[in-house]
Amino acid sequence: MTKFIFFSGKGGVGKTSMACAHAVRYADEGKRTLIVTTDPASNLADVFEQEIGHQITPIAGVPNLSAMEIDPDKATQEYIDRAMAPIRAAFPPQIVEVMEEQMSGPCTAEVAAFDRFTDFLDVPSNNGTSFDIVIFDTAPTGHTIRLLELPAEWSQSIDAASAGSGQTCLGPAAAIQDAKHKYERALAAMRQTSQTSFVFVLHPEAISIKETRRAIEELRKLDIENFSLIINGIIPPEGAQNPLFAARAEMQSRYLDQIEHDFDYPKQRMILLADEIKGAGKLRRVGKIFFDGEPASGSDEAARVHLQNETFASPLDDVRARLSPNGHRRTVFFAGKGGVGKTVASCVTAVWLARQGFKTLLLTTDPAAHLGDVLDTPVGDDVTEVSGQLNLWAVNIDPKAAAETYKTRILNDARQRGRPESAIKVMEEELNSPCTEEMAAFDKFIEYASQDEWQAVVFDTAPTGHTLRLLELPVDWSKQIDVKVFASVDATAADDVAKQRFAKVIEMMSDPEQSTFAFVVYPEATPILEAWRAAQELGTVGVHPGLVVANMVIPSEQATTPFVQSRRAMQEKYLAEIGQRFGVPMVQIPLLPHEVKGLEMLAELGDQIYSEQVTV
C-alpha cells in the first residue's frame, strides 16, 4: 500500500526543507518516493536546485526520488478540457461558450490543482510508475485546509446542481460525477491512519503554535487524526553564545515547554543551521542530524567569514514617500511568501501612519489572520477603533461571513430587478459554489478601500499565490457578472455599477501615487525568488512593487560569534540581491530578542525603521 505523508504548517517554518529531507531519506533507503506540491508558491525546484515543473521529474543524484510542482495554469486547462470534452461533442457552440465562461472563475485554478493532487491519492500508480511513498509538500495551512474541505463542499455543490440547473462553477454536473467519487475516495484515504499521516512543521513561537492548533482542530472536524510535529529552527548551543540569539533561545525554551504540554502527538526537533538547506548533499546532512542525531558538523560549523558590514539602507525620504498620503488616500499592500512577517510589517506601518496623524484602516483577508495577536487587541469582522492608538481602525474580513452578506446582496438586487423566482434559484445555486467566499472577501475589501473617510489603508494580505488571485479577481469578475451569474437568465443584465467599482480599484492599485505594493522577505533565497515571481506576475496587470521590506535582519553589531557571523554573511549576500532585483527602496526590520507584540513595541519599531536612520 502506498503511504501518503502530508507536510503542513504556517508558511516560512521550513516545511519544504523538511519534506525534501524526508523524501531524500526514504529514496536513499530504497523506497520509490514522489514529492508533490500543491503550493501556488512552490519552491521545490529551488531546494533541489533543478528544474521540476508540472510533470513527474527524476531528481538528479537521488535514485528512487521524483518530484512534481502542480502548475495551476496547466492543471486548469487540463481540467477544463477533460470536463468539457463530452459537452463540446453534444451541444451547440454558443452553449459550449457559455459553459466555458462559467468555468473561467477565479477558483478554478485551486479546484484544478486539487483535482490533479487527488490523482496521486486515488490510484497506486501514475504515468505507469508506482510509488511506495508519496509526500505532499502542501501550501500554508489556511490554504491547505480549504483544499481539504473542498471534497465535501464539492459534493454538496454537485448534488445541488444536479437537482437544479445542472451547472456548477466546477463545470457541468453530469461531466464531473466521476470526479465527485474520486474526491470522496481521496478524503477516505486521508482518514486512513495506517496509510496517511500529517506532519506539522512549526517554530517555537506563539503564532506558529496557535496556527498548528487551529489547523489540527480543522482537520479533526474532517475525521483526520494521524498527526505528528516537527519543531524546527531551534537555536543550537553554539548559536546561543551571542546575546541576541541567547535571548531568542530563552524565548524558544518557554514555547518548547508549551508545545510539550499542549500537543499529545509524536514530536521531533530540528536545529537552526548556520547556512541554507539547498541541494541533495545538504538535504542528506539534514537527514543525518534529524534522523540519526548526528551533531551539526563540517560545513554546518560556521567558520569565521568575511562580513561586508554594508548598511544597504535606502534614504528615509524615499521610503516615507511611498507610505504617506500625498493629497490622495494611500493604500499600502503587504505581499510575500507566507510566514515572512507581513502581519508585523503591516501593523508597524499602520501604527506609524496613525501616529503621524493619518486616519488609518488596517485590514486583512488572510484566512490565517494574526492581526489581533500582533496588535495584542481583538480584531473582529467589523471596523473597530484600536484601543490605545488614536487614528487607527482595524478589521479582519471573515470570508465565510462576507460570503453570506454578498449572497444576500446579490439575490436581493436580483429580486428588486424583478427577476422570476426560477432565475433567483439558479443564481442561488451558483452563489453556493465553493468560489464565493474568495470573491466575497475581495468584494468586502473593495467596499472598504472605496470609502472616502480613510487617509491611509494598510492591507495585510494572504500569502502570495492567494494574493495574486485576489488581485486578478476584478478582471475575472467582469466576465463572471456578465456571463456566470446572469447568462442563463438575461445576458444583458450586467451589474455596471459593480464593474465601475472594480475598474476604479484596479486603476487605484496601478497608480503609484495612490498605492504601494511592499514585498516582505527574509534575506534568504526562497522568499526573494517568490517575491520576484509575484512581482513579475503583478507587472502583467500593470502593478509594480514600490517597496521591499527585509525582515529579521541580524544587526551587524550582533555578528560576534562564528554561527551568527555565518548567518549575517548569508543575509548580506541576499540584501545585496534584493537591491539588484527590485530596484526600489528597502526597509529593514531587525531580528529582535523577542516577538513583536503590542502597540508600544509596534510604535518603537515604527520610529526605528521609518523615523531614524538606522544601520543594521
Catalytic residue of the set 10, 15, 182, 484: 15
* Active-site entry in 16, 433, 464, 561: 16
Question: Which pLDDT band holds residue 568 (cuts at 50, 70, 90)?
Answer: very high
The beta-strand segments (E) located in 478-574 are 515-521, 545-553
- State yes or no: is 452 an active-site residue: no
Place of cell 536612520: 613
As a three-state string, the secondary structure of 149-213 is HHHHHHHHHHHHHHHCCCEECCEEHHHHHHHHHHHHHHHHHHHCCCCEEEEEEECCCHHHHHHHH
Residues 289 and 24 sit within 8 Å (Cβ to Cβ): no
State the Cα angle at 112 between 107 and 113, rounded to 5°.
100
In this predicted model, what pLDDT tens digit does every residue of 489-499 receive, in sequence order? Answer: 333 334 455 55
The DSSP symbol for 52 reads -
User: Which residue among 12, 336, 338, 341 is the active-site one?
Assistant: 12
Out of 33, 39, 138, 341, the active site residue is 39
> What secondary structure does DSSP assign to 92-125, as a single string?
-HHHHHHHHHHT-STTHHHHHHHHHHHHHHH-SE
Q: Average pLDDT in the 307-319 region?
A: 80
Q: Which helix (H) or strand (E) holds 86?
A: helix 72-90
Whether pLDDT at 33 is above 80: yes
Residue 504 has pLDDT above 70, yes or no: yes
What pLDDT does residue 577 have? Answer: 93
Q: pLDDT tens-digit profile of 197-218?
A: 999 999 998 878 988 898 888 7
Q: Which domains does the chain have, with CATH numbers?
A: 3-71+110-155+188-297 (3.40.50.300), 316-610 (3.40.50.300)
- Per residue in 265-303, pLDDT (tens digit) is 999 999 999 888 889 999 999 999 999 998 876 444 445
Gap between the Cα atoms of 365 and 459, Å rounded: 8
| 144 belongs to the catalytic site | no
Give 595's DSSP letter. -
Rounded Cα–Cα distance for residues 244 and 239 (Å): 10
Confidence class for position 162, pLDDT limits 50, 70, 90: low
Q: pLDDT confidence of 1, banded at 50, 70, 90? A: confident
Q: 400 vs 396, 500, 517, CA distance in Å?
A: 12, 25, 26
pLDDT at 7: 92
The residue with greater pLDDT, 112 or 544, is: 544
Higher pLDDT, 368 or 465: 368
Asked if residue 400 lies in contact with residue 119, where contact means CB atoms within 8 angstroms, the answer is: no
Q: How far apart are CA 550 and CA 590, in angstroms?
A: 8
- Residue found by looking up cell 514530536 in the block: 267
Active site residue 16: yes
Active site residue 327: no
Query: Is 492 a known active-site residue?
Result: no
98: CB partners within 8 A, 6+ apart: 483, 487, 488
Question: If pLDDT is split at 50, 70 and 90, which confidence band does 63 have?
Answer: very high
Active site residue 39: yes
Q: Confirm whether 15 is a catalytic residue.
A: yes
Q: Which of 2, 8, 17, 343 is flagged as catalytic?
A: 17
Among 538, 390, 397, 402, CA closest to 465: 538
Residue 233: CB atoms within 10 Å: 20
